[in-house]
């Protein structure tokens, strides 16, 4: 079999290592918080970025060679991508991949031809999965690149476009089920709008829900046991997107009765675009019982768009893993929805990017476990709200016995109430630094 990457298998060499093609923190069999690292961190390769993105941007064409020796836009190229992708995942010990339908095969003008190509490539991929044990984390349909989706897919003004989107979802679900995917994602690419002057917002939201209900009905009938996900994002490409953030998406799912079948796939860079921290979005998903899966990447504080960088921010990864551990893990995994920077265009750079991301999340896991074992944060939070547990008035509020009248009588008896107690933010921030960097 042809070898695409002249990089050996990437091994764990420990934190003092200097080898740029070895893990320094990701030690798959090391046990942290009662489980092996590889069980805490089901990493996935995003087919589109890793095997497709060549650095094309608004100002210039690609710099990285992702042809894998074949003419792009052909089935031979689609198969070479699969070959290269499996070699890549095996060499890095990555257990999962994620895909859009049109990442796997070139899209034809008529959907029947695309469907036949998807049948062919999924047979091909399935064989590789059987040989390697590599699995599918989630699949999705790309309903944003083709010009027909310029006004959205489920939210399109055109019933024909809606029907086309439905056909794409059906096929992408078929392929996801065939490949044993853990989940199926809806990222609302162009499900949003530019101006109210031409948009019926109420109708568009209802139509998106209609499409999602059809997906649930079809998927469950076809035997799909995994989770459906919404991946919230506030803007880009559209100015206003209907899945702005975790809170908006959770409310949407509840409003339309989709919350039994759907969870959220939280992407770090989308969180920051929405003006939130990554951990905020994870927490909102978790308290709604909807923290399903994660698109592990990061943005750039100086840039206002979805830069999809490989995560290197250990502090943010720590806060992420803190939320994940508190959530009891994920039913999904960690998809590196991330791409090399344009000037890092070699095949070796692709490996180094994943090593960076995987090491960053390994550090995040180790640190989060330390923070939880240290216990000072949990203890402080428990104490901070203790008046609701430990005082008669607090208990009356929680039990539902309190009324505005009873609380007025109580408040009038207080005279001047005491301040609520310091939030001690700076002390706690130092606790985090001590736990992360102290001995």
Catalytic residues: 100, 103
306 binds Ni ion (CB under 5 A): yes
Backbone dihedral angles phi then psi of residue 183, each to the nearest 5 degrees: -150, 170
Pick 4 or 97: Cβ nearer ligand XLS: 97
Among 103, 243, 267, 369, indicate the residue that binds Ni ion (CB under 5 A): 267
Other C-beta atoms within 10 Å of 36: how many?
A: 13
Phi-psi map region of 46: left, alpha, beta (phi>0 left; psi -120 to 50 alpha): beta
Cα–Cα distance measured from residue 398 to residue 388, given in angstroms and rounded to the nearest whole number: 7
243 binds Ni ion (CB under 5 A): no
What is the residue-wise DSSP string for 213-235? HHHHHHHHHTT--SEEEE---SS
Among 191, 337, 359, 369, indicate the residue that binds Ni ion (CB under 5 A): 337
| Shortest distance in whole angstroms from residue 417 CB to ligand XLS | 47
| Shortest distance in whole angstroms from residue 337 CB to Ni ion | 4
| Shortest distance in whole angstroms from residue 269 CB to Ni ion | 6
Partner interacting with residue 140 (select from Ni ion, ligand XLS, none; CB below 5-8 Å by kind): ligand XLS
Closest by Cα among 366, 276, 350 to 41: 366
| Shortest distance in whole angstroms from residue 201 CB to Ni ion | 23
Residue nearest to ligand XLS (CB): 187
Cα–Cα distance measured from residue 262 to residue 216, given in angstroms and rounded to the nearest whole number: 9
Among 87, 231, 243, 279, indicate the residue that binds ligand XLS (CB under 6 A): 231
Cα–Cα distance measured from residue 46 to residue 98, given in angstroms and rounded to the nearest whole number: 5
CA angle 78, 80, 85 (to 5 degrees): 95
| Shortest distance in whole angstroms from residue 267 CB to ligand XLS | 5
CB neighbour list of residue 269: distance below 8 Å, 6 or more residues apart: 295, 297, 298, 299, 306, 307, 308, 309, 337
Cα–Cα distance measured from residue 349 to residue 284, given in angstroms and rounded to the nearest whole number: 35
- Single out the segment in contact with Ni ion by CB under 5 A; choices: 98-106, 125-133, 250-258, 266-274: 266-274
Structure-token pair, residue 262? 């759907």
Beta-sheet strands, E only, within 235-333: 240-241, 262-267, 291-295
Partner interacting with residue 93 (select from Ni ion, ligand XLS, none; CB below 5-8 Å by kind): none
Residue window 357-386: x/- pattern of binding to ligand XLS, with contact defined by CB under 6 A: ------------------------------
Among 77, 117, 190, 233, indicate the residue that binds ligand XLS (CB under 6 A): 233
Among 87, 204, 337, 359, indicate the residue that binds ligand XLS (CB under 6 A): 337
Cα–Cα distance measured from residue 100 to residue 329, given in angstroms and rounded to the nearest whole number: 25
Pick 295 or 359: Cβ nearer Ni ion: 295
Contact yes or no for 384/394 (Cβ under 8 A): no
CA angle 348, 80, 341 (to 5 degrees): 35
Q: How many residues lie near ligand XLS (CB under 6 A)?
A: 10
| Shortest distance in whole angstroms from residue 332 CB to ligand XLS | 12
Cα–Cα distance measured from residue 147 to residue 109, given in angstroms and rounded to the nearest whole number: 12
Kindly identify the residues of this chain, within the stretch 276-305, that bind ligand XLS according to CB under 6 A.
295
227 binds ligand XLS (CB under 6 A): no
Kindly identify the residues of this chain, within the stretch 133-162, that bind ligand XLS according to CB under 6 A.
140
Residue bearing tokens 């399935």: 126
Q: Which residues bind Ni ion (CB under 5 A)?
A: 267, 295, 306, 337
Q: Which residues bind ligand XLS (CB under 6 A)?
A: 100, 140, 185, 187, 231, 233, 267, 295, 306, 337
């Amino acid at each position: 079999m042809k070898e695409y990457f002249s990089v050996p298998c990437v091994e764990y060499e420990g934190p003092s290592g200097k080898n740029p093609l070895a893990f320094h923190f990701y030690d798959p069999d090391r046990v942290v918080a009662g489980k092996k690292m590889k069980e805490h961190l089901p990493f996935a390769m995003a087919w589109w970025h890793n095997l497709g993105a060549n650095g094309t941007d608004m100002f210039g064409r690609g710099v990285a060679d992702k042809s894998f020796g074949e003419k792009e836009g052909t089935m031979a190229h689609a198969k070479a991508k699969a070959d290269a992708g499996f070699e890549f995942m095996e060499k890095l010990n990555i257990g999962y991949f994620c895909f859009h339908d049109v990442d796997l095969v070139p899209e034809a003008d008529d959907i029947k031809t695309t469907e036949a190509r998807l049948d062919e490539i999924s047979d091909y991929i399935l064989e590789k999965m059987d040989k390697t044990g590599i699995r599918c984390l989630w699949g999705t349909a790309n309903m944003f690149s083709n010009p027909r989706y310029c006004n959205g897919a489920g939210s399109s003004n055109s019933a024909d476009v809606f029907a086309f989107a439905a056909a794409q979802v059906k096929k992408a679900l078929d392929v996801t089920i065939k490949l044993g995917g853990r989940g199926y994602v809806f990222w609302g690419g162009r499900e949003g709008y530019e101006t109210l002057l031409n948009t019926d917002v109420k109708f568009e939201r209802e139509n998106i829900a209609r499409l999602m209900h059809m997906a649930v009905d079809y998927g469950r009938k076809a035997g799909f046991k995994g989770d459906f996900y919404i991946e919230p994002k506030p803007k880009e490409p559209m100015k206003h997107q209907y899945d702005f953030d975790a809170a908006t998406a959770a409310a949407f799912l509840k409003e339309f009765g989709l919350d039994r079948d759907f969870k959220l796939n939280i992407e770090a860079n989308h969180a920051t675009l929405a003006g939130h921290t990554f951990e905020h979005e994870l927490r909102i998903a978790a308290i709604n019982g909807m923290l399903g899966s994660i698109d592990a990447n990061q943005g750039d504080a100086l840039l206002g768009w979805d830069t999809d960088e490989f995560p290197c921010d250990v502090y943010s990864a720590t806060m992420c893993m803190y939320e994940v551990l508190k959530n009891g893990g994920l039913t999904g995994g960690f998809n590196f929805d991330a791409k090399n920077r344009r000037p890092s265009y070699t095949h070796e750079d692709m490996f180094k990017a994943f090593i960076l991301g995987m090491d960053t999340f390994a550090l995040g896991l180790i640190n989060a476990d330390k923070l939880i074992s240290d216990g000072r944060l949990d203890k402080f939070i428990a104490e901070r709200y203790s008046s609701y547990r430990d005082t008669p008035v607090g208990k009356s509020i929680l039990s539902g016995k309190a009324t505005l009248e009873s609380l007025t009588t109580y408040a009038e008896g207080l005279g001047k109430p005491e301040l609520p107690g310091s939030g001690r933010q700076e002390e706690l921030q130092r606790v985090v630094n001590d736990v992360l960097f102290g001995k």
